[in-house]
Amino acid sequence: MCGIVGYIGSKQAFPILISGLKRLEYRGYDSAGIALQQSNGITTYKKQGKVSDLELFINKREVSGNIGIGHTRWATHGEPNDVNAHPHTSMNGKITVIHNGIIENYSRLQKKLVDRGYTFTSETDTEVLANLIEYIYIKGNISAELSVRLALTKVIGAYGLVIMCSDEPNKLIAARNGSPLVIGVGTNEYFIASDATPIVEHTNRIIYLNDKEVAVISPEELTLKTILNDSLTPIIQELNLDIEEIEKGGFDHFMLKEIYEQPKSITDTFRGRASQNPPEIYLGGLYNVFDKLDAAQRILIVACGTSWHAGLVGEYLIEEFSRIPVEVEYASEFRYRNPIIYNTDIVIAISQSGETADTLAAVRLAKEAGATVLGICNVVGSSITRETDAGVYTHAGPEIGVASTKAFTAQVTVLTMIALLLGKRRNTICEKEYKEIIAELYTIPKKIEEILTYSEDYKAVAELYKNAANFIYLGRGCLFPVALEGALKLKEISYIHAEGYPAAEMKHGPIALIDENMPVVIIATKDKSYEKVVSNIQEVRARKGIVIAIVSKGDKTIAGLANHVLEVPETHMQLAPLTTVIPLQLLSYYIAVMRGCDVDQPRNLAKSVTVE
């Protein structure tokens, strides 16, 4: 959360920074700001609201300069307003900072600075950092770089930082601990950003900063060091990302585009990994841990948000096919509750961004305990992918909409393949079923294409219930996590309260909420619990609840019971999460649009949660 950008070179920095901030806005959109090195010193512009508000505000003025930094904020300390917006400048104007992360010991540092005469204008932890660097810089009469490194030895917390010093105008200093930072290498120019999306249009040569590293950058050169002054050789990697992938491509919203991309993103995720002839799963990223997978007595899955829901689907699939016990935990709970981790455990961290702070911390904890740690991530080169022992990328392509859609189905696709692979290696899945599921996986993209053609049906249901105050979502077995995901999608983007429940659990509480105003979305495709779900539908109808059922194509029984049916083509029971989630995504999308909500940037949320 919070997006940061920087530019140093011979071009005008302002347009580069603004378009970079727009690409990073999914990381936070409470306020935005830019600081530029101009002929008369550093000038800072900042504004509450979105990057477009900042742009409007600046456009009225003359701006020029070849060096600058920019920030789009997801507020942690201090409300979103102009004053708390980044960049922050130190009391004597020497140091200007943008920051993504949290300085945990900021109040203790602030108190020391106040004792030494410093005053503060904002409520942010970042201003404390700016003043701390300046204090060391003036007191020690030392370089900006050394001041930054010394200040960072005093800081506890997470940061991605870019710093400008007014006395050293031809330089940017970037540092990272816990929050991502990427540097694009051009010809006599460098681009800095929280991820590669603002950089791809300028260069495909990338340096990923690691924790506790500091880069000192001038237009001509970049030097890389640890905070403790050990020299490092920057490793330049080639970035494989198309500009079209991060644009809306004619869709009204990124979320809609990403929903419609799912036939492709699922295909990209299993392509080359699931073979029909011979029936086989090849997950090259796991080859070096096959011995550990074969010996494992247990799998722990850690994740947050939608990725946690994918993990729950994974639990059903892995236990079903490979008979290995699986536990799924919120990474934030796992990391703080002194969990029991055996060195024979396999820990799977699932994260679209690969940067979620709690998931990354859970990875570190599991590694310390000696477990084998795998990652299922979407963003290539992200922190989790670099810290895990092995892993499988989802090939969903960049996901920009804050509400996760195609990342979920890509994660479930990977988990399906892992479950099949483990089942095959352990001889717990019969050859026939193994073959059938792989063949069925190949049909999923076509089935999703069909589901996507029913958008008028979703719009019609959305129109009827867009003003409901609450929704309940029900599902059983591996469709229970899909119910959770459907409820999460609705609340995130439309701000309607929604709860997901295992269908049979409804009787233990939620049934008390059901009346003629309560829409109940029930996933009721044909599987072994079908009859039971039909009973659940009758229980809702008996209390006058409104039933919106997701059913297998052609289902007449439920069509006669439910108020609305949304059809999906039939598939293998364990693959139904991939199809049934699509109507739920679209229903949420259309409801949110009809309510006038900002679908891609819902209030208070951010896509990449790099703070605890």
Residue pair 21/50 in contact (Cβ under 8 Å)? The answer is no
Q: Which is nearer to ligand G6P, 493 or 506 (CB)?
A: 493
Q: Which is nearer to ligand G6P, 262 or 359 (CB)?
A: 359
197 binds ligand G6P (CB under 6 A): no
Q: Which is nearer to ligand G6P, 269 or 356 (CB)?
A: 356
383 binds ligand G6P (CB under 6 A): no
239 binds ligand G6P (CB under 6 A): no
The distance in angstroms from the start CA to the end CA of the chain is 11
Find the binder of ligand G6P among 90, 262, 359, 580 (CB under 6 A): 359
86 binds ligand G6P (CB under 6 A): no
Contacts of 500 (CB under 8 A, 6+ apart): 472, 473, 474, 475, 480, 483, 484, 485, 486, 487, 488
Find the binder of ligand G6P among 353, 413, 574, 585 (CB under 6 A): 353
**Smallest distance, ligand G6P to C-beta of residue 213, A:** 22
**Smallest distance, ligand G6P to C-beta of residue 167, A:** 39
Residue pair 89/42 in contact (Cβ under 8 Å)? The answer is yes
**Smallest distance, ligand G6P to C-beta of residue 98, A:** 21
Bridge partners (DSSP) listed for residue 42: 37
* CA 592/CA 82 separation, integer angstroms: 28
Residue pair 610/355 in contact (Cβ under 8 Å)? The answer is yes
Q: Using CB positions, name the residue nearest to ligand G6P.
A: 305
Q: Which is nearer to ligand G6P, 131 or 359 (CB)?
A: 359
* CA 298/CA 300 separation, integer angstroms: 7
Taking contact as CB under 6 A, which single stretch among the options 31-39, 42-50, 304-312, 445-453 is the one that binds ligand G6P? 304-312
Taking contact as CB under 6 A, which single stretch among the options 266-274, 321-329, 402-410, 535-543 is the one that binds ligand G6P? 402-410
Residue 2 is among the residues annotated as catalytic for this protein: yes
Q: Which is nearer to ligand G6P, 137 or 589 (CB)?
A: 589
305 binds ligand G6P (CB under 6 A): yes
536 binds ligand G6P (CB under 6 A): no
Find the binder of ligand G6P among 487, 609, 610, 611 (CB under 6 A): 609
**Smallest distance, ligand G6P to C-beta of residue 301, A:** 12
**Smallest distance, ligand G6P to C-beta of residue 359, A:** 5
Q: Which one of 2, 165, 304, 377 is the catalytic residue?
A: 2
The string of DSSP codes covering 419-457 is: HHHHHHHHT-S-HHHHHHHHHHHHHHHHHHHHHHTTHHH
Find the binder of ligand G6P among 66, 262, 332, 352 (CB under 6 A): 352
Which position has the token pair 């030895």? 153
**Smallest distance, ligand G6P to C-beta of residue 598, A:** 14
Residue 379, token pair as written in the block = 């963003």
**Smallest distance, ligand G6P to C-beta of residue 607, A:** 5
- Angle at CA 368, nearest 5°, toward 363 and 369? 100
538-574 b/e (C-beta count within 10 Å ≥ 16 → b): ebbbeeebbbbbbbbeebeebeebbbbbbbbbbbbbb
Bridge partners (DSSP) listed for residue 475: 502
304 binds ligand G6P (CB under 6 A): yes
Taking contact as CB under 6 A, which single stretch among the options 113-121, 185-193, 346-354, 573-581 is the one that binds ligand G6P? 346-354
356 binds ligand G6P (CB under 6 A): yes
* CA 575/CA 478 separation, integer angstroms: 9
302 binds ligand G6P (CB under 6 A): no
- Angle at CA 98, nearest 5°, toward 97 and 99? 115
Which of 188, 186, 185, 183 minimizes the C-alpha distance to 173? 183
Contacts of 437 (CB under 8 A, 6+ apart): 416, 420, 572, 574, 575
AA letter at 4: I
* CA 102/CA 179 separation, integer angstroms: 9
Q: What share of the chain is helix, strand, coil (3-state, %, to 5)?
A: 40, 25, 35
Q: Which is nearer to ligand G6P, 28 or 445 (CB)?
A: 28
Find the binder of ligand G6P among 351, 413, 494, 610 (CB under 6 A): 351
605 binds ligand G6P (CB under 6 A): yes
Q: Which is nearer to ligand G6P, 353 or 580 (CB)?
A: 353
404 binds ligand G6P (CB under 6 A): yes
Q: Which is nearer to ligand G6P, 35 or 400 (CB)?
A: 400
AA letter at 26: Y
Q: Which one of 47, 94, 171, 607 is the catalytic residue?
A: 607
* CA 517/CA 510 separation, integer angstroms: 14
Q: Which is nearer to ligand G6P, 193 or 437 (CB)?
A: 193
Q: Which is nearer to ligand G6P, 66 or 585 (CB)?
A: 585
Binders of ligand G6P: how many residues, by CB under 6 A?
Answer: 16
402 binds ligand G6P (CB under 6 A): yes
Find the binder of ligand G6P among 96, 110, 269, 306 (CB under 6 A): 306
For 443, half-sphere exposure in the C-beta direction (CA atoms, 13 angstrom radius) is: 13
Residue pair 213/224 in contact (Cβ under 8 Å)? The answer is yes
409 binds ligand G6P (CB under 6 A): no
Which of 294, 542, 258, 196 minimizes the C-alpha distance to 400? 258
Find the binder of ligand G6P among 100, 131, 307, 580 (CB under 6 A): 307
Residues involved in catalysis: 2, 607
Residues lying near ligand G6P in the complex (CB under 6 A) are found at: 304-307, 351-353, 356, 359, 402-404, 605, 607-609
